Structure 1
Amino acid sequence: MGIERIDGCTGCGTCVPTCPTDVLRMNAKTKKAEIRYPQDCQVCRLCQQYCPVDAITISDGRAIPAITAWG
């Protein structure tokens, strides 16, 4: 599933540049983040991790397991 919703966004914009697949954009009218391309979410959780007010909810439905290299 990926990113589900944004509730309580303060409009800081921190989540937009953290998303590697440009799922999020700032809405020009509301001055708050919105989910523009949910199908492109890779469930990396960077937006959720960097949101200072915990406004982003992500579902684990499409989660990709982290690959760890041991060398």
Structure 2
Amino acid sequence: MLPDGSYVMSQTQVADAIGKRSGSVHEFVNGKSSEASSLQGLPFPKPVLPPDHNIPVKPIPIKAVVPYWVYWSRL
């Protein structure tokens, strides 16, 4: 959960859950599939640096996680 109360997963968590590389999330969000088009206008939080990390985490809104997983379940 982010400080504003919104729930997210990291880009890596989203991709690892279905055995994909983390870059595939970014490619999906910028793609032209019907699932990705449903994300137009959805705000994506800026990367955050958790206290116990030295690399920023790229948060993905939960509303974007499900379409990503649905897209890959159809292939």
Query: Same fold by TM (over 0.5)?
Result: no
Higher helix share: 2
Bigger RCO of structures 1 and 2 (CA < 8 A, at least 6 apart): 1
